[in-house]
Amino acid sequence: MKKTITLVLFSLLFACGENNQKKHDADNGKTKSKATETATTLPSSDYSSLLLNYECDMTAAEVAKVFNIPESDVIPIETNMPNRCDFEIKGFGQNAAGGTAMRWGMAPFSKADSKKEIQSRLKDKENNESIFGMDIELSETGDCYITITPHIGGVDILNENYDGAFYFKYSQPAIYKRTAEQHAALTEKTIALANYLLKKHKR
């Protein structure tokens, strides 16, 4: 009887200790997770040529390679706008001109605004509160964030270390009679282009 009582008491003490340890581990896990989600300032490589001094450095052949489409489906569009690329991309819906007019380039954006936008997007993603498919992901270079705003046809590169951002615009699907599948595909191609340019300009 005495052995049974001792065994029961030992089991209870062990269970309490185990539960406390699990709670401690869980709390530590939550703390680490929260710290990871809120610590958005990342050490950064030099992206000055992209985020501050961009001049269009993409050819139709290069764009076609990134998009994995025929070069004949990429047509340069002449523009007088500085610090920007303009191309007509075929195969993702069309307007009167025959394809999707895409443009990308740098834009002034303060470090504080970048930080605010990144934190807001990360919080929405953490809470599963994405609106209209808006999203954010870490770039393949690991030191920038890529924000996706598909309902207006936009992707942006943000870096809190720069007073500048980089944008990609491919417009709303209705403008180009674009199907949902075509729009999703073009969004993914644009994200790939963002990662490509980051790698190309990383110093």
Contact 116, 133 (CB under 8 A): no
**Statement to judge: residues 90 and 7 lie in one domain:** no
pLDDT tier at 89 (50, 70, 90 boundaries)?
very high
pTM (2 decimals)?
A: 0.79
**Statement to judge: residues 84 and 23 lie in one domain:** no
Residue 11, number of CB atoms within 10 A of its CB: 10
CA 9, CA 15: separation in Å to the nearest integer?
Answer: 10
| Structure confidence at residue 194 (pLDDT) | 98
**Statement to judge: residues 172 and 121 lie in one domain:** yes
The residue count of the chain comes to 203
The structure tokens 């450095």 sit at: 57
| Structure confidence at residue 117 (pLDDT) | 97
Which residue range forms the structural domain that includes residue 27? Answer: 1-39
Angle at CA 192, nearest 5°, toward 77 and 138?
Answer: 130
| Structure confidence at residue 35 (pLDDT) | 34
Residue among 134, 116, 115 at smallest CA distance from 124 = 134
pLDDT tier at 24 (50, 70, 90 boundaries)?
very low
Contact 150, 133 (CB under 8 A): yes
**Statement to judge: residues 109 and 139 lie in one domain:** yes
CA 113 to chain CA mean position, Å: 16
**Statement to judge: residues 68 and 33 lie in one domain:** no
**Statement to judge: residues 56 and 155 lie in one domain:** yes
Please count the structural domains in the chain. 2
| Structure confidence at residue 96 (pLDDT) | 65
User: Rg for the chain (alpha carbons), in Å?
Assistant: 24
